[in-house]
Structure 1
Amino acid sequence: MNRRAFVIVIDACGAGELPDAADYGDTGTNTLGHVAEAAGGLDLPVLGRLGLGDVIPLEGVPSSPERVLHGRLHPLGPGKDTITGHWELMGVVTPVALRTYPDGFPPEIVDALREASGRGVLCNRPYSGTAVIDDFGEQHLATGDLIFYTSADSVLQIAAHVDVVPTDELYEICAAAREIMSGEHAVGRVIARPFRGEPGDFVRTDGRRDLAIVPPSRSYMQELQADGMAVHTVGKIGQVFAGVGVDHSHKGATNRAALDATTRLIDELESGFVFTNLVETDQVYGHRGDVPGFHRALQEIDAEVAGWLERLDPSRDLLVITADHGCDPTTPGTDHTREHAPLLARFDGNGHRRHDGPFADVGASVLRWLAGRDAGALPGTPFIV
């Protein structure tokens, strides 16, 4: 039988603070728990049936007698961002924290970007991605200067209006910035953020592009490729891995697009691995402190999972639902939060077991499910017996 594995990352859907959360200023954070409380209870019947309420106590989500393998995952390395979370799920652990710029970028970086782009620079400090276009967008329209900002993550982000800087030109500028941000300044990602609209009504387009550094070590995706198995990514994951270990990258700029792409792959693929990111709980709702929106996004996912469960055969198909970090929308500020990730895994023989372990257990389990082997040089212990 040709086996398949689907790993679904609900971006920023953390499940409670990690032991070192205080080191990141994240004491007491609990994205899922606090969203449940603030929403007056979560309405997630499908995820609840799979055991979401058994991962941690959640208002509105009782313990389920039908729960699948469930638990919480923790990172082995530092960080609380997209790159470290997704990399660790596939067995890539960064030995040191990726470089961040809490005071903005130094003059030599700004000067190099000006020279490479032929444009000036606005902002140059940590900023909310939606607030930055509201606060600097009109000045950008008047001057053509780039909106240049960062966050608590290891990122350099460049925003530009599509009528001032065509999207292809913005991509070229970001590619030049990726080369500049190397060596001692090697941030995890350079992100292009095109937007459109008029002052007071600026909105991001779906043209986001992430230019990531190459993963520093071998991943479980490369192990799968070595055994002749196709690796499909949906959403930004292909870019997060800089294409390393990826055979086919499918678009998924919105949750709807990513959910639809995943459903098509469930219906069409005979075998292989699908690694999906659902971005809106992070990008649209977590960073903006929007609890009702976060809950609605989870409900949309819950409804889609109901259809997947009808299509997937547990004797053939492994389904894993997890996250990459937290972004507690009930806390002050807009940054990611250092949290556990929830784990739900449906497959034949899963029982009702609890499994707590490192993020890398996901990649290890995918390899064992699909290839029937382990990769001893990589971190992680399969929860597939």
Structure 2
Amino acid sequence: MAKAVILVLDSFGIGSAPDADRFGDVGANTLASIAREFSKQKGRSLALPNLASLGLIKAARQASTDPITVADASQIAGAYGYAAELSSGKDTPSGHWEIAGVPVLFEWGYFHNKTDSFPAELIEKLCAETGVTGVLGNCHASGTEILKKLGDEHIRTGKPICYTSADSVFQVAAHEEHFGLEKLLEFCQVARRLLDEYNIGRVIARPFLGDAPDNYARTGNRRDYSVLPPAPTVLDKLTASGGEVISIGKIADIYAHQGISQSLKATGLAALLDTTLAQMQTAADRSLIFTNLVDFDQNFGHRRDPIGYGEALEYFDQRLPEFLSALDDDTLLVLTADHGCDPTWPGTEHTREYIPVLCYTKQMADIELGERASFADIGQTLASYFSLDAMDYGESFLPQLIKN
């Protein structure tokens, strides 16, 4: 019987996608930029030997001509390729839904104005239904910078901090002790309902702690409130067939808890990896363990910290042998991403990039998957792997894995 593990290295792009010009992202390359800055600032190359042995560097060099100052492996134990995004946006739900076989082919709603971003009638309804006296922010902002700017006023007035970005998102920051975590989550649930008519993809609760601008910090109690995917994902098909989908991190939130059997939260890269390893020891046959490693994106990509990003990648790489050793003979490991977030690119937004597609089983060695036309190839491959009905999008690369 088959089992699978997907590790999403959130935001780990490997080169500008073919349509990057539509997004102003021609030249963005998350991996190459991290490696370049690492060499420049730390005086040594980024060390990713275990990822390289799964074919990461070969895939990255096929995806882009940008120089990548990371040593390649002499032997490849795995299958490697790179995928372009079919979805209309470069946001988290679109990337994850497409991974699960359902690309987003419609346009999300967005709040384009950099200031006074939200319609007055929306704020009026939100305040009336939640009882708050008003909101702060109402702008495009970095989630960490806005805490420094408005955290004190939020505590003094009790008004939640509401902000957005280039993504289809409505974010709400509030202090866990002064405002209250439950009150924040209830506020976000009301916002989720009101934002449906604006076709906004996610509402994100961003609780924080601290007592001064220099130590305000977001906590691990983040919650994402997403709309439902527009069609059944491979997660839905697997659970409907009697299989199990184990969500670790924010996966369940991204899929609006649809197609999820069990949802486990963990804060920080180490804890997310530990939780995944623990589930690998006990998961039943026909199980899919699906983990999002959010730290790469929220702690380093958006904060434009290439050195921190590189150090987190090295930590992940050092832990990777634990995952390879923990695999059963019938378990497929997939490493991928949901979009890019080049930490050297202007601004603080995601970047439209190819994502890596790395696969490993104990019987696999040096399989080139090449360029994939859609992230949905992963979902279609999983549908084939679990003997499910085919997805509407994507081309399975399972025959290449089996053939070799």
Q: If the TM-score is normalised by the length of the shorter chain, which range does it land in?
A: over 0.9
Distance (whole Å) between structure 2 residues aligned to residue 177 and residue 253 of structure 1: 25
Show the counterpart of 2:15: 16
Q: 1:213 Cα deviation (Å)?
A: 0.4
Q: TM-score, normalised by structure 1?
A: 0.96
Distance 2:51 2:74 in 1: 10
Q: Distance in 2 between matches of 1:360 and 1:257?
A: 28
1:49 aligns with 2:63: no
Q: Quote the Cα distance in structure 1 between the aligned partners of 2:81 and 2:365.
A: 12
CA contact (8 A) 1:210 1:240 kept: yes
**3-state DSSP class of the match of 1:356?**
strand
SS at match of 1:345: strand
1:349 shift after superposition: 4.7
Distance in 1 between residues matched to 2:143 and 2:368, nearest whole Å: 40
CA contact (8 A) 2:369 2:397 kept: no
Distance in 2, matches of 1:115 and 1:350, equals 60
Q: CA deviation at 1:117?
A: 2.2
Q: CA RMSD in A?
A: 1.4
Equivalent residue of 1:284, what SS? helix
Report SS of the residue matched to 1:344.
Answer: strand
Per-residue CA deviations over 1:19-50 (Å, capped at 9, x if unaligned) read 22121121210001111111113211111111
The TM-score normalised by the length of structure 2 is 0.91
Match of 2:202 in 1: 189
Q: Could you tell me which of 234, 239, 258 is aligned with 2:248?
A: 234
8 Å CA contact 1:54, 1:64 repeated in 2? no
2:24 is aligned to 25
1:321 equivalenced with 2:335 (yes/no): yes
Task: Provide, for residues 83-132 of structure 1, a one-character-per-residue CA deviation record: whole Å limited to 9, x for no partner.
Answer: 00000000112221211112111111111111122221111111000111
Q: Distance in 1 between matches of 2:239 and 2:29?
A: 36
1:10 and 1:175, CA in 2 relative to 1: closer, same or farther beyond 3 A? same
Match of 1:178 in 2: 192
Contact 2:38-2:46 at 8 Å conserved across structures? yes
> 1:95-244 residue pairs with structure 2 within 5 A?
95-103=105-113, 104-119=117-132, 120-183=134-197, 185-199=198-212, 200-244=214-258
Task: Map 1:295-306; keep pairs closer than 5 Å.
Answer: 295-306=310-321
Q: Structure 2 CA distance, aligned partners of 1:112 and 1:353?
A: 53
**Quick one: distance in 1 between partners of 2:194 and 2:100?**
28
Cα shift at 1:65: 2.0
Partner amino acid, structure 2, of 1:146: P
Distance 1:25 1:124 in 2: 24
- Ranges in structure 2 where 5+ consecutive residues have no aligned partner: 40-44, 62-67, 400-404
Question: Secondary structure of the equivalent of 2:386?
Answer: helix
Aligned partner of residue 320 in structure 1, secondary structure = strand
Is 1:267 the counterpart of 2:267? The answer is no
Moved more, 116-125 or 10-19: 116-125
Kindly report which structure 2 residues correspond to 1:69-108, keeping only aligned pairs within 5 A, or say none.
Answer: 69-103=79-113, 104-108=117-121
Task: Give secondary structure in 1 for the equivalent of 2:210.
Answer: strand
Pair 1:64–1:368, CA change in 2 (3 A): farther
User: Match of 1:309, as an amino acid?
Assistant: L
Deviation at 1:67, TM superposition (A): 4.2
Moved over 4 A (4+): none
Which of residues 274, 277, 281 in structure 1 aligns to 2:292?
277
Residue 18 of structure 2 aligns to which amino acid in structure 1? P
User: Structure 1 residues 345-354 or 15-24, which shifts more?
Assistant: 345-354
Answer yes or no: is the 8 Å Cα contact 2:277–2:326 preserved in 1.
no
Contact 1:70 / 1:354 at 8 angstroms: preserved in 2?
Answer: yes
Conservation of the 8 A alpha-carbon contact between 2:49 and 2:72:
no
- Distance in 2, Cα, partners of 1:349 & 1:143: 59
